[in-house]
Amino acid sequence: MSIQNSKPLILTTTVGSYPVPDWLMASPSEQGLMDATRVVVDIQRQFGIDLPTDGELYRFDMNHPDTNGMIEYFIRPLGGIRAEVGRQDWQAFSEKHSMSFRSKPAGVVEEEIGEGSLNLVVDCERLVAIAGENVKFTVTSPYMLARTLLDNHYHDFEVLLFELARVLSSQIADLNCHCIQIDEANIPGNPQDGTIAAKAINIVLDAVQGEKAVHFCFGNYGGQVIQKGSWLALVSFLNQLRCDHLVLELAHRPDDDLDALKDISTDIRLGIGVIDVKINHVETADQVAMRIEEAEKKMNRGHVGWVHPDCGFWMLKRSVADRKMEALVAGRNKYLGL
C-alpha cells in the first residue's frame, strides 16, 4: 500500500531498528545484508506497516553486531575526528559530565570536520534498490552526535554542532526515498539546549527532499530510560522544528505527558508511540486502539497522523517485535473501523 493512495487517516510506521537476524550475525556478508534487508522490509509490509524502515541494517557492522550504530556509524568515518580514544580522552570527556550514561567519547575532534568516508547516499540507494522508494531512512541528529564528542579543536559546542549539521545536510540533500527521519534521544533530558538544537536539526531538515520526520525519546539503552524530563518542557522546542511530523515516545511515559502535546502546532502532525519497546509483553489490539483514542481526545481533530512503537526494536527478540507490529496495525485498524 503506498502512502499516496492509502485511505487511513492515521498511518503506521516503525521507528527504525529491528533485531538483527541470527543468520546474518552467524555468517555476515554483503549479500546476506541485502537479503536481511529484504526480509525486514517485507515482514513490516506483510503486517501492514504503511511506512517501513530497513531495520537500520544499513549500519550493520559485522565486528559489532550487537549495536545498531546510532553514534559510531556516523562519527567514525568523518574527517577531522580521531576514533582511537585513550585514557586521557576518557578522563577529559567524563569531566564534562555531558552524558551520564556514557563515559567514553565516540571520537576526539582534532581538526575541521569533513564528511570523510561517510556515504549515506550509497546506503539509501541500496535500500531503495531493494525495497523501492516508499521507505523511511533514519539519521542521527547532529545534536546527539555532538554531545558524544570530545572537542579539542573548535572549543565551542555551538560551532561543533553546526559543523556536524552542515556535513549531514550536504549528504541528506541527495537521499531519494519517501521519508527521512532525524533521531534525537538526548535533548529530552536537556531542554535548555532546545533553541540551538532546533537550529541545527533544521539545517538538516531543510535539506530533505521528501517527507520530514523527527523522532524523540528519553533513551532506550538496555531497555532503560536514560533521560529525565517531560514533553511539557519541550513544546517550545518542538514547535521550532521545520518537519512534517513528529515521532514521539508515549507508551512508556506518564499519562499526563499527552496533555502537553495539545500546544504543538497543528502544522506538524503528531506521531504517537502506542507500543512499549522496553517490555516483552505484547499489547493487544484493544490496548493500542484505546491509546489512540486517548490521544485523539486530547488533540485537535486530525492532529494525530501516525502511530508507531516508542523507539526501535533492536533489543527485543524478533518474535516479540513481530507480534508488537502486528498489534500496532490491528489496533490502528480497530480504532478506525477498517
pTM: 0.92
Cβ within 8 Å of residue 234, ≥6 positions away:
187, 188, 191, 194, 216, 260
**Mean pLDDT confidence for 99-107:** 77
Average pLDDT in the 61-89 region? 85
% of the chain beyond a pLDDT of 70: 91
Q: Identify the CATH class of 11-336.
A: alpha beta
What pLDDT is attached to residue 4?
Answer: 47
CA atoms within 13 A on the CB side of 110: 13
Residue type for position 79: G
Integer Cα distance of 81 and 110 in angstroms: 6
d(CA 188, CA 209): 26
Which cell numbers hold the place of 248?
A: 514521539
Strand, helix or coil for residue 44: helix
Q: Please list the residues that pair with 51 across neighbouring strands.
A: 13
Domain segments of the chain as ranges: 11-336
pLDDT in tens, 145-181: 999 999 999 999 999 999 999 999 999 999 999 999 9
pLDDT at 64: 61
H-state helical runs in the chain: 22-26, 30-47, 72-75, 87-96, 120-131, 142-147, 157-172, 194-205, 235-239, 257-260, 285-298, 318-336
Residue 8 exposed, middle or buried by CB count within 10 Å (0-12, 13-18, 19+): middle
Evaluate whether 148 touches 189 at the Cβ level (below 8 Å). no
Q: Is the pLDDT assigned to residue 272 strictly greater than 90?
A: yes
Task: Quote the cell numbers at residue 185.
Answer: 534521544
| C-alpha separations of 108 from 82, 150, 163 in Å | 5, 5, 14
Q: Give the model's pLDDT for residue 170.
A: 97
Report the alpha-carbon distance of residue 2 to residue 318 in Å, rounded.
Answer: 25
Give the integer Cα–Cα distance in Å for 330 and 113.
46
Q: Which three cell numbers stand for residue 288?
A: 493500542
Q: What per-residue confidence (pLDDT) applies to 223?
A: 54
Cα Rg of the chain (Å, integer) = 19
**Mean of pLDDT values over 99-123:** 90
* Residue count of the chain: 338
Integer Cα distance of 246 and 238 in angstroms: 8
Q: Which helix (H) or strand (E) holds 304?
A: strand 304-309
Residues 6+ apart with CB under 8 A from 43: 18, 322, 325
Q: Residue 287: is its pLDDT beyond 90?
A: yes
**Nearest CA-CA partner of 137 in 76, 179, 88, 187:** 179
**CA pair distance 241, 173, nearest whole angstrom:** 17
State whether residue 92 is helix, strand or coil: helix
Between strands 11-12 and 179-184, the pairing is unpaired
By DSSP bridging, strand 179-184 and strand 149-151 are unpaired
| pLDDT greater than 80 at residue 319 | yes
